[in-house]
Chain A
Amino acid sequence: MHELDLDLSRQTPFGVDFSGAEFADNPEPRCPCVLLLDNSWSMNGQPMAELNHGLAAFKEELLADSLAAKRVEIAIVTFGPVQVVTEFQTAEQFIPPPLTAQKDTPMGQAIIQGLDLLDQRKALYREHGIPFFRPWVFLLTDGSPTDDWKVAADAVRLGEEKRAFAFFAVGVDEANLDILQQISVRRPLRLKGLRFRELFQWLSNSMRSVSRSIPGTEVPLVNPASPDGWASV
C-alpha cells in the first residue's frame, strides 16, 4: 500500500506525452505512406467524388490483410491550401477524411510539408525503437504548381538518392506532366480517366507486399501502366 500512496502524492506534469502508447500497443515495423492530394478548385465535382471513393477503398483493401493493417501508416496532406488532413495513422485507425475542392495548387509547399511530416515520424520511430520500411510519398495532382516548386524538387531528388523514401507522382486529367517529370525522379504516370479506385487498389496491394517484405529490400511492383492498369505513361 505504501507505494500506492507514493504514486498518488507524486506530482505529474500536465499533458503527459502518451505518444509512445501507439508503439507500445503495436510495435510491428511500420511502412509509412504520405499521400499528397490536390484539392484545388479544378478537382471539383466528379474527380473529387472519385478521389474520396478511392480513399475509402484504400482503407478497406489494407484492412483485408491483418499484418498490413498493423504496419502501413497513412498521412494525408492536401494542397489548395496546404493542410495536414491526417497525421500518420495505421490503416486500422485511419478514417478517410471527406475532401472538398478549394483554391489553388501550391504543390511545392505541400511536398515540403509532406517530407517534414515524414522526417518527424521517422524520428519518432527511432525514438521508440520501431523498425520501418522505406516510406512512400505519393503525389496526386490535376494541375501545375502555382508556387515555387524548385526547392521541393531538390528535396525529392536528395531523398531518393539517400533512399530515404520513394516518390511517386501521378497526374490527373490536364496535369502538367513536364513539371512532374522535373520533380519526380521516377517517371510520372497519368491516371486513365478517373480510375482513382484502381489506383488506390494498386497502392494498397503494393503497400501490402512491401509491408510483408524485409525492410530495405526492393519489392517488384505490378506495372500500373499495363493495358488493364490505371495509368498511362
Chain B
Amino acid sequence: MRLVSGADHPVELGKELGRGGEGAVYEIVGRPGFVAKRYHQPVDADKALKLQGMARQAHPSLLAIAAWPVDVLRAGSHGPIQGFIMPRVSGYQEIHSLYGPSHRKRAFPQADWSFLVHAARNLASAFETIHARGHVIGDVNPGNVVVSAQALVKLIDCDSFQITVGERLFLCEVGVPQFTAPELQERPFRGLRRSPDHDAFGLALLCFHLLFMGRHPFAGRYRGKGDLPIERAIRDYRFAFGQHAAAQSMEPPPHTLPFSALPRPVAGLFEQAFVPLTPGQRRPAPREWLLALERLNRELRSCRRNALHKYPGSLPDCPWCALEQASGTVFFVAPRLAVVSPVAGHPDFDVERVWSQIMAVAPPGGEAMPHPEAPTLVTATPLPDVLQRAQHDNALKAAVLVGMALAALLMQPGLFWLWPLLAAAGWSLLRNPVVRREYQRRRLALFAARRELTRLRGEWREHATEQPFLNRLQGLQTLRDRYRSLAADLQRDLQQLDADQRRMQLQTFLEGFFVDAAQLPEIRVTDRMALESYGIETAADVTPEVLRMVPGFGQRLGRQRTAALLAWRQTLERQFRYDPRQGVDPAAMADLRQRYAQRRAHLEQELMAGGEELAKLKADILKRRAQINIALIRQAMLESQAQADLRVFYPGPGELWRRRNRS
C-alpha cells in the first residue's frame, strides 16, 4: 500500500527496527534521521487528531529530547492515519541498563556516580521541556526513558503523552503502578487526567533509581505482617529511606547507599516528593531537581583510595568504600578499554555489525544540478520617465544632427570628411549622458549576476554532489578491509620476524666455518690468500657475487674453484638446524603486537564513528544541496531579470510595437 505523509509526500518504509504490542517502527527510505511507527490496529479518530496535533506542536526543543511525532503517516492521500513519523533515536539505551549496577558495568563502563547525577539532571531538564510546552508525560516508567553514552536523556513512546492542543486535551490512558503517584494508585488509567505534579513523582522515582544504584525508594524491608507489594507501599507513602521510614515499619534494604549521604537540599527534594501533600502543596518541580542536582555534581569529590568513587564533598569519608566492602559488590569499574589485552581488541567490536551500521546510511543520492529555465514572465524594469524622456530627446537630437549632417553633405560634398566629425562632436556635446549611465549600470548588474551564478554552480559541484560522501565511504571500506586483514597481516609479519630469525641463525652458523680450515683440495694456498684479502673468511661470506670479484675465481679453473666453494657452503647449509627455542626476540615480537594493537584500536575507533560521520556528512550535503539549489534558482531569476533590464536598451521589433501601442 502507498503510504504518504501529512503533506501527501510519498513515504517508503525501509527496514523494520523494532516491534511492540502497539506497532512496529521502520526506517524511512531517504530520510536517515527519521523513523516511522505504524500501528498494528487502525487508530481511532481521537488518536488521529492527537497525532496531528502533536505533529503541529513539534517544537525544536521537543524534538531534541523526545521521539516526538513530526508528521502523520497515511494510507494514501486522504486515507486513514496509520502511524506517524518521528526523529530516530539511536545510540541510546533503556535507562535501567544505566541505573542497575550489573548492567551498567557492561553498558556504561565509564559511568561513575557523577555521571549518574548528571543523567538525573538531564532527565529533569527533559521533563521541564515537556511541561514548558504545556504537556504531561503521564506514563513515566523506565521503559520510556533512554540514555546516551554522554548521559543525554530522551523520552520515547511519546504518542502516549497527555497532550494539550488548543482547547482540547488528549489523555494518557496507560501507566505502570510501580511508577504511579500515591493519589492515583488503584484508580483506573482510563479517563484519568494527569498533572505535571504527577510527572514530578515519576521524576523523583527515576532520580532515586539513578542515585541509589537501581533501588526503588518504596522497596525496603517491611517490618509489618505479610508481603508489601510496591503499589501498596506507594499508596501508603512508605518511603523506605526517609527519616519517617521507621514509623512506617520500613527500613532501607541492606547494602544501599545511606540516605544521609545525600546533601540536605537533594535529600529534602526526595522527602518532599514522597510524603503526603497538604492541599495546595506541590512536589518538587523538574527545575528544582535540575538546580539541586547540578549543585550536587559541582560539590562531588573523588575518593583518595579509589578514584572511581565520587561522593558529596560534605561527607567525612567515602560511602562507596564502606558499601563495597560490606556488600562484596563493586559498584564502579574502570572503563574496560584500559584492561583490554592489546591484540584481542575490543571484545564487543564486531566489524561486520559495525560495517552494516555504516552501510545502513544510504548515500544522499546523485541528484543533478538544477538548471532552472529562464522564467518566461520576466518583466523588465522599465526606464524611469525622466530617462525615457531623455532617451526620447536624445533620439530627436540625433535625428536632427544626422539630418543637418546630411544636408551639409549635399550642400558641401567637398568637405565630406568634416560633417560626420562635426555631427559626432555635436552629439557628444548635446546628448544627455544619464541614459548611457543607466545602460552601463544595468550591464554591470548583468555581469555580476552571471558571475554569481557561475560561482554558485562551482559551489554546487564542490559541496552538493554526493562525491564527498562516496569518498568517505570508500575510505571507510579501505579501513574495513584493513581491519579484516589485520590478523593475517600480523601473522605475516610474525612469520617475517621468524624468517629473519632463521636467516640470522644461519648467518651465525655459517660464520663459524672458516675457509682456512676447510678441506678443499681445489683451493690452493694462494687462492686462500686472495680470498682473505677480499674479506672472504667464513662460509657466510661465500656468495657468487663476491667471488666473481676475486682474482683467480673468474675464468676457467676459477669456475671450478668457485663451484667448489659454493658447494662447500651448500653442504654446510644442509647441516644447519634451525633452533626455534632461540626464537624471535620477545621484545621485537611484543613491539610488533603493540603496533598492531594500536592500529587495531585506531581502526575500530574510526569504523565505529563511521556510521555517524557518514550520517552527518549526508545531512550536511543534503542541507547544502537544498541551500544552494534555492540560491541557484534565485540567482537564475536575478540573472534573467538583469538580462531583461538590459534588453530595454535594445528593443526588438515586438517591443517597439508594444511601446508604440502604449503611447
Contact = CB atoms under 8 A, between A and B. Distances in A.
A216 B254 contact: no
B240 A20 contact: no
**Could you say which of A7, A70, A212, A214 has the most chain B C-beta atoms within 10 Å of its C-beta?**
A214
B103 A70 contact: yes
Nearest to B230: A131
B6 interface: no
Contact of A131 (B94, B100, B229, B323): B229
A160 interface: no
Contacts of B150: none
Interface string A40-61: 0000000000000000000000
Contact of A3 (B100, B221, B317): B317
Interface stretch (B151-159, B210-218, B443-451, B566-574): B210-218
B256 interface: yes
B231 A216 contact: yes
A23 B253 contact: yes
Interface string B200-222: 00000000000001111001111
Interface in A15-70: 16, 18, 20-21, 23-29, 66-67, 70
B50 interface: no
A66 B178 contact: no
A28 B327 contact: no
Interface string A127-169: 1111100000000000000000000000000000000000000
A129 B103 contact: no
B328 A18 contact: yes
Contacts of B94: 66-67
A28 B230 contact: no
Given A66-B94, A131-B219, A24 B327 contact: yes
Given A66-B94, A129-B240, A26 B252 contact: no
Given A126-B221, A129-B253, A215-B229, A27 B328 contact: no
B611 interface: no
Interface string A200-220: 000000000000101110000
Interface in B139-193: 143, 176-178
B112 to A, nearest CB: 16
B254 A20 contact: yes
A18 B100 contact: no
Interface string B98-129: 00111100000000000000000000000000
Nearest to A129: B253
B250 to A, nearest CB: 9
A129 B215 contact: yes
B336 interface: no
Contacts of B323: 24
Nearest to A213: B176
Contacts of A3: 317
B227 interface: yes
Given A66-B97, A128-B253, A129-B253, A25 B329 contact: yes
Interface residues of B, number: 37
Contacts, number: 93
Contact of A16 (B177, B178, B328): B328
A211 to B, nearest CB: 12
B602 interface: no
Contact of A20 (B97, B103, B327): B327
A67 B142 CA distance: 11
A214 B219 contact: no
Interface range, A side: 20 to 34
Contacts of B331: 24
B456 to A, nearest CB: 51
B96 interface: yes
A158 B99 CA distance: 38
A214 B103 contact: no
B221 A216 contact: no
Contacts of A27: 100, 213-216, 219, 253
B102 A129 contact: no
Contacts of A128: 221, 253-255
Nearest to B255: A24
A21 B101 contact: no
Contacts of A7: 325
A67 B103 CA distance: 10
Nearest to A1: B304
Nearest to B212: A27
Contacts of B219: 27, 29, 129-131
A21 B143 CA distance: 25
Nearest to A16: B328
A21 B329 contact: yes
Contact of B101 (A25, A66, A92, A216): A25
A26 B327 contact: no
Interface in A57-85: 66-67, 70
**Could you say which of B213, B255, B325 has the most chain A C-beta atoms within 10 Å of its C-beta?**
B255
Contacts of A126: 221-222, 227
A214 B214 CA distance: 17
Contact of A26 (B100, B222, B230, B328): B100
Nearest to B231: A216
A216 B100 contact: no
A215 B328 contact: no
Contact of B96 (A18, A24, A28): A28
A214 B143 CA distance: 13
A25 B534 CA distance: 77
B230 A23 contact: no
Nearest to B142: A67
A66 B93 CA distance: 11
Given A21-B328, A131-B229, A214-B177, A26 B101 contact: yes
A7 B97 CA distance: 33
Nearest to A209: B21
B221 A66 contact: no
Interface in B16-48: none
B267 to A, nearest CB: 19
A127 B254 contact: yes
Contacts of A66: 94, 97, 103
Interface in B252-280: 252-256
Contacts of B229: 131, 215-216
The 6 closest A-B pairs by CB, nearest first: A129-B253, A18-B328, A24-B255, A21-B328, A24-B327, A24-B329
Given A24-B254, A26-B102, 17 more contacts: A3-B317, A7-B325, A20-B253, A24-B323, A25-B102, A27-B214, A28-B214, A29-B178, A66-B103, A70-B103, A128-B253, A128-B255, A129-B219, A129-B256, A131-B178, A212-B143, A214-B177
25 contacts: A20-B253, A21-B328, A21-B329, A23-B253, A24-B255, A24-B327, A25-B101, A25-B102, A27-B100, A27-B215, A28-B100, A29-B219, A66-B97, A67-B94, A70-B96, A70-B102, A127-B254, A128-B221, A128-B253, A128-B255, A129-B220, A129-B252, A131-B229, A215-B231, A216-B231
Interface of B: 94, 96-97, 100-103, 143, 176-178, 213-216, 219-222, 227, 229-231, 240, 252-256, 305, 317, 323, 325, 327-329, 331
